[in-house]
Amino acid sequence: MAFKNPVKLASLPKIKGGQFLKITATILSKKFLNGNSVPFIILTNHVYLGFDENKSKKLPFFLLGERHSCWKDYHKKKTDSGEPQKNYMISGTCRRNGDEFVLDVDGSKGLKKVPRKTFEFLNALLKKINKKYSISTTGGSAGAIDEDLQKTKVEEIKQETKDSDTEVTRDLKHSQEATAYKEEKQGEAKKLSKAIKDLSKLMGTSLKIVAKNIKKGATSGKDIKLVKEANKAFSEAMSVFDETSEQVKKKFDSAHKKLTKQKEELYKLSLAAQKRKKSVAERLAENYSQKKTGKPADESLIKDVNNIVKKVFAQNKKVKQADLLRMLSFVLGKVGPNEETVIKYVTQIVQKQAA
pLDDT at 38 exceeding the cut of 60: yes
Looking at residue 258, its amino acid is K
pLDDT at 195 exceeding the cut of 60: yes
The secondary structure of residue 139, as a DSSP letter, is T
What is the longest distance spanned by two Cα atoms in the chain?
A: 118
Kindly report the average pLDDT of the chain as a whole number: 77
Average pLDDT of the segment spanning 85-112: 90
pTM, two decimals, is: 0.43
Per-residue confidence at 275, pLDDT binned at 50, 70, 90? low
Minimum mean pLDDT among 19-28, 53-62, 143-152: which range?
143-152
Average pLDDT of the segment spanning 127-136: 90
Backbone angles phi, psi at 22, to 5 degrees: -65, -45
Res 270: pLDDT: 66
| pLDDT, tens digit, 9 for 90 and up, residues 91-104 | 999 999 999 999 99
Res 102: pLDDT: 92
Backbone angles phi, psi at 271, to 5 degrees: -65, -40
Minimum mean pLDDT among 21-25, 66-70, 122-126, 280-284: which range?
280-284
Per-residue confidence at 41, pLDDT binned at 50, 70, 90? very high
| pLDDT, tens digit, 9 for 90 and up, residues 163-192 | 434 454 555 555 555 555 566 778 788 888
pLDDT at 54 exceeding the cut of 50: yes
Q: Are 135 and 119 in contact (CB under 8 A)?
A: yes
Res 154: pLDDT: 41
pLDDT at 152 exceeding the cut of 50: no
pLDDT at 214 exceeding the cut of 70: no
Sort strands 61-64 and 37-43 into parallel, antiparallel or unpaired.
antiparallel
The residues facing 41 across adjacent strands are 63, 91
The residues facing 137 across adjacent strands are 103
Average pLDDT of the segment spanning 67-79: 88
Measuring CA to CA, which residue among 7, 9, 10, 14 is closest to residue 49? 14
Res 142: pLDDT: 35
Backbone angles phi, psi at 224, to 5 degrees: -60, -40
Res 147: pLDDT: 41
> Which has the higher per-residue pLDDT, 272 or 92?
92
Q: What share of the chain is helix, strand, coil (3-state, %, to 5)?
A: 65, 10, 25
Res 90: pLDDT: 93
Q: For the chain, which residues make up each domain, given as ranges?
A: 9-165, 190-276, 280-354
* Count helices and strands in the chain by DSSP H and E runs: 12, 5
| pLDDT, tens digit, 9 for 90 and up, residues 215-238 | 666 566 677 777 777 778 778 887
Q: What percent of the chain is predicted at pLDDT more than 70?
A: 77
